Structure 1
Amino acid sequence: MKSWPLLFVALLALPACGLRPVYGGGGQGAVAQAIGHVEVASIEGKAGWLVRNALNDRLSVFGGAGPRYRLVVKLDDQIDGFGVRADAAITRERRTLRARYQLIDDATGAQIIDDTAGSDAGIDVTSSEYATIAAEDTALERLSQTVADQIVARLALFARREQSGK
């Protein structure tokens, strides 16, 4: 009971900290409107297909009235074995997915963002080749989602900064 006054003071001080929600205003907010105008260029390969679909899933929620920006993504997908038994068989793999992405203004052709995103996942190599391939594919699907989340978060921060003029 004695902590109620402290909690009340903390709640009053919260707006003074300067934190503001990135997606303030919801779907009608400036950030949602800006990233709703991003068109994702096609990306090569299976990983590219997965990342592009993940990006489109996230960006289509905001729905713009036509592309104003173009997002160009180049991927580097690697699988490296690192757990080795005495008979030289690999027992563990690391799948790494890195993306270099550029946001380009369609009107001017100017490159606005040039950044990278990436993640990695560990995979157990089993005696079943099918199980190992399935694990590699599952890892790629998860990594594609993670990389797409990182890219969309960076686009939202860019839009927020543009909106506030900083």
Structure 2
Amino acid sequence: MMLASCGLQPMYAGGASGEVGRAISSVVVSPIEGKAGYLVRNALTDRLGAAGKSEARYRLDVRLDEKLAGMIVQSDDSVSRERRVMRARYQLVDLNTGAVILDDTADIDAGIDIVKSEYAVIAAEQTAQENLSQDLANQIVTRISGRLRQRSAAPAKP
């Protein structure tokens, strides 16, 4: 009641059958290169609910850039902390018109402590990659939802 009086409305009003829910589920994600791309694409597909949908209205194209670099270097030139960075440049394309409705970037990073156990470091790097993939997908879906909400609220052009 209070939200309606101030002009705010829930983005996902109506759940999966609401305007934004239906639009989100009509987004198909193009393949993304590499292991990180595989992880990000799966996370996006899960969040969009577009797996196996044949009535695609939008296509999401993502270019992913991932870096792992030493962040803290000790006096003996050994690295004691790494930083994994994922950056995505993405475009949401309307399949009916070919128009790009959203062209944006998202990025996220995580720090990884380097310990004496090589196995522990590799496991930490992989876990960071998996977690960053999930978080990056969340950012992208949130921005897409906002854009699709704007489009559904905009008056139709004559």
Q: What is the TM-score with the length of structure 2 in the denominator?
A: 0.92
Greater mean deviation of Cα atoms: 42-51 or 105-114: 105-114
Q: Are residues 1:138 and 2:130 paired?
A: no
Q: Identity of counterpart residues, as a percentage? A: 54
Contact 1:123 1:136 in 2 (8 A): yes
Instruction: Report the CA distance between 1:13 and its aligned residue.
Output: 4.5
Q: Supply the distance in 1 between the matched residues of 2:20 and 2:27 (Cα, whole angstroms).
A: 12
Partner secondary structure for residue 126 of structure 1: coil
1:75-114 matches, cutoff 5 A: 75-114=64-103
Q: Are residues 1:55 and 2:53 paired?
A: no
* Match of residue 121, structure 1, among 102, 110, 115: 110
Between structure 1 and structure 2, the one with the greater Rg is 1
Gaps of 5+ in 1: 1-11
Instruction: Report the CA distance between 1:61 and its aligned residue.
Output: 6.9
Gaps of 5+ in 2: none
1:68-79 matches, cutoff 5 A: 68-79=57-68
Instruction: Report the CA distance between 1:87 and its aligned residue.
Output: 1.1
Instruction: Report the CA distance between 1:86 and its aligned residue.
Output: 1.8
Superposed CA RMSD in Å reads 1.7
Residues 26-62 of structure 1 show CA distances to partners (whole Å, capped at 9, x for unaligned) of 1110001111110000000000000000001111179
* Match of residue 43, structure 1, among 32, 41, 54: 32
